[in-house]
Structure 1
Amino acid sequence: MSTTDPATDDVWLVVPLFNEETVIGDVVRDARRTFPNVVVVDDGSSDRGADAAEAAGAVVVRHPVNLGQGAALQTGFEYARSVPSMQWVVTFDSDGQHQVSDVLEMLAKARAEDLQVVFGSRFLDDRTTPSLLKKLVLRTAVGYTNMTTGTRLTDAHNGLRLIRRDVVERIDITQNRMAHASELVEQIGKMDVRYGESPVHILYTDYSTSKGQSLWNSVNILVELILR
């Protein structure tokens, strides 16, 4: 029997997927206990992750070739916008590092404070423990993003975000690779919307690190940010 809270029926989780067959089924099943609406965008995977996501109850949209996470998010936004009942979109990773409980906290904050966007932040409490060097790289990226977008965030490159429909309808991501995160912040900053941050716990497991949460990936984010 579903334990879904009816207050989450207007929320859609958008999950970019690339070769996560071993974990995506569990990620979708766990999320759907609280958030029934999940769209997984398979970004040209070579494994059977899309089938696993579909079997777990997600709507699956497929890219025939790998286009990048930014493109996958944009496709997910376009799908969610086609659903009349959608009022909120959550960007949610496919590798198991995001926590459903954090999304509930973000949603409660948005509704209580009438916010249009809530960004997850690893740096508002001490639950997330990136390495010192990775933290330095991420802090540098945050400083650059704040300087160039006019926003004031503590964690601009956290993939967990809650976005209200009126903002989702105006987002148009064109940066397909890692620079999409800064582009998204920049577009939101230019909209002059009400936004806030909420502490989140990112699980840096051996698996998630091997799939792109390494220090080198953080450096790539910073390089793409400066060169885009």
Structure 2
Amino acid sequence: MQDMSDVWLVVPVYNEAPVIREVAESANRTFPNVVCVDDGSRDGSADEILAAGVHLVRHPVNLGQGAAIQTGVEFARSRPGARYFVTFDADGQHRTEDVETMVVRLRSEPVDIVVGTRFGGQDSSSVPLIKRFVLRTVVALSPRTRRLGLTDAHNGLRVFDKTVADQLDITMNGMSHASEFVQLIDEHDWRVSEQPVTILYTEYSMAKGQSLLNGVNILFDGLLRSRIRR
């Protein structure tokens, strides 16, 4: 087994009390450093995180997933020995086995960030139809995403090194942060690669999933921001 003491999992959390304790405990069995950012939850998520025995950082009000990730990365990168950082969903969709594989690649290959993709090794037919349509549309309409060679830019599973963590400055607080992440990769010339991952679509996670309209809004928020920053 690898030494994962230099890896930090950052888990943004908003009203995930039914599952977050199990998710955090499971991740913590492989990764000794897990920080959950409770983004203004109203359902007891913070108590479940504390019961899991991992680090807890709290937002007094809900700021959105982008802000929670930024807060978690800032907390993690201030810790002694932190070298690698992971964004990991709180709803149980991500697997620690995939994170381990991505960390190995980051340690051994000339890349700064490895992004998960649902359209590599996993049969894409397992991705719900409406979600598959949204994800494919986002890529088709985003020249930046295509130029970087990304097939699943809105996958929340990412592993990156301290170069990325130190320069990361997410300002889009909501779900649109995924488009901003792609923009930052491009603007900073971070070396990026994709890793096929398996997403666990449970009844719980699907109930919290994004609608087609929300996906389109994310895309156009990202395109608008790109134009403004030019």
- Settle same-fold status: TM greater than 0.5: yes
Match of 2:159 among 149, 157, 162: 162
2 CA distance for matches of 1:33 and 1:148?
34
| Distance (whole Å) between structure 2 residues aligned to residue 42 and residue 155 of structure 1 | 26
For residue 203 of structure 1, give the secondary structure of its aligned residue in structure 2.
coil
Q: TM-score, normalised by structure 1?
A: 0.91
- The aligned residue for residue 48 of structure 1 is 44
- Listed as ranges, the gaps of 5+ residues in structure 1 are none
Q: Aligned ranges for residues 60-79 of structure 1 at < 5 Å?
A: 60-79=56-75
Of 89, 105, 112, the residue aligned with 2:108 is 112
Q: Distance in 1 between matches of 2:155 and 2:170?
A: 16
* Residue 172 (structure 2) aligns with: 175
Q: 2 CA distance for matches of 1:81 and 1:31?
A: 19
Q: Say whether 1:82 aligns with 2:78.
A: yes
1:33 aligns with 2:16: no
Q: What's the CA shift for 1:148?
A: 6.5
Unaligned runs of 5+ in 2: 226-230
Task: Name 1:191's counterpart in structure 2.
Answer: 188
Q: What's the secondary structure of 1:118's corresponding residue?
A: strand
Name the counterpart of 2:136: 139
Give secondary structure in 1 for the equivalent of 2:208: helix
Cα distance in 2, alignment partners of residues 119 and 49 from structure 1: 27
Asked whether 1:9 is paired with 2:18, we answer: no
1:91 partner amino acid:
T
Kindly indicate whether the alpha-carbon contact (under 8 Å) linking 1:146 and 1:153 is maintained by their aligned counterparts in 2: no
- Give the direction of change, closer, same or farther, for the CA distance of 1:174–1:149 in structure 2 (3 Å limit): farther
Aligned residues, how many? Answer: 224
Aligned counterparts of 2:144 and 2:163: Cα–Cα separation in 1: 25
Does structure 1 residue 92 correspond to structure 2 residue 66? no
8 Å CA contact 2:140, 2:146 repeated in 1? no
What do you get for the CA RMSD once the two structures are aligned?
1.8
Task: Name the SS of the counterpart of 2:16 in structure 1.
Answer: coil
